[in-house]
């Protein structure tokens, strides 16, 4: 018998934490967060304010430690090593 693949991402992201990056950026959960915005957040040092390079969400965003962690996770899981399957 073949082993069933374990869905590890369900253990990492708790249900009450889902959509918090969307909420923090002011983007609807139905829209996808632009990759350029996530990359800009990851590159910017903590404490600095950035201007949103895209037209979605808030215009200026203050980069916090938590925002940077969430953006890095989104970059790795959503766009990087484990991209969405169509």
pLDDT in tens, 30-50: 888 999 999 999 999 999 999
The reported pLDDT for the residue numbered 76 is 86
> Is 27:60 a contact under the CB 8 Å cutoff?
no
Q: Count Cβ atoms within 10 A of the Cβ of residue 84 and give its class: 0-12 exposed, 13-18 middle, 19 or more buried.
A: exposed
The domain ranges of the chain are 18-80
- Decide if pLDDT at 20 tops 70: yes
pTM for the complete prediction?
0.79
| Alpha helices in the chain, H assignment, sequence order | 9-12, 20-25, 35-43, 65-74
């Amino acid at each position: 018998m073949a082993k069933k693949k374990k869905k590890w991402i369900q253990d990492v992201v708790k249900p009450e934490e889902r959509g918090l990056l969307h909420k923090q950026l002011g983007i609807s959960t139905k829209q996808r967060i632009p990759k350029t915005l996530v990359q800009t957040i990851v590159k910017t040092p903590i404490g600095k304010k950035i201007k949103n390079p895209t037209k979605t969400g808030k215009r200026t965003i203050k980069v916090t430690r938590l925002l940077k962690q969430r953006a890095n996770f989104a970059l790795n899981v959503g766009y990087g090593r484990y991209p969405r399957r169509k």
